[in-house]
Amino acid sequence: MKMRKSKAIKRRSGADAYKKIKCMNHDPENSKWGEYAPDLNGCTEIVEVPVETSRVLCYKCTSRSTSGVKF
């Protein structure tokens, strides 16, 4: 196990705890929420998420889904 400088306390901070992934609507056909993608070509939004998260819906698509806006 690698030792890190004391700065890395056990908190969800630091670069390692987060990653940037595309909104799952970048591929609308394979997304449960694909019909809410802002564009037929898919969403291009990048979202920062905790590393253990593999899929995310960006705030734009989320708000579209909650307000029922479909493309």
Binding site residues, Zn ion, CB under 5 A: 23, 25, 43, 45, 58, 61
Smaller CB distance to Zn ion: residue 17 or 35?
35
Ordered DSSP codes for 4-28 = --TT--SSS-SGGGEEEEE-GGGSG
By the 8 A CB rule, do 39 and 70 touch? no
Taking the complex as a whole, the smallest distance from the CB of residue 43 to Zn ion amounts, in Å, to 3
Nearer to Zn ion, 16 or 46 (CB): 46
The answer to whether the beta carbons of residues 19 and 48 sit under 8 Å apart is yes
In the bound complex, what is the minimum distance in angstroms from residue 45's beta carbon to Zn ion? Answer: 4
